[in-house]
Homo-oligomer: A and B are copies of this chain.
Amino acid sequence: MTKETIDRIRKFTDDRDWNQFHTPANLAKSISIEASELLECFQWDETNYDLEHVKEELADVLVYCRNMLDVLGLDEYEIVNAKMKKNEAKYPVEKSKGNSRKYDEL
Contact = CB atoms under 8 A, between A and B. Distances in A.
Interface residues of A, number: 69
| A contact patch SS | helix
A81 B15 CA distance: 17
Given A16-B96, A69-B58, A93-B15, A35 B40 contact: no
A12 B43 contact: no
A79 B58 contact: yes
Interface string A6-24: 0011001001111011011
Interface of A: 1-2, 5, 8-9, 12, 15-18, 20-21, 23-26, 28-47, 49, 51, 54-56, 58-63, 65, 68-69, 72, 74, 76-77, 79-84, 86-88, 91, 93, 96-98, 100
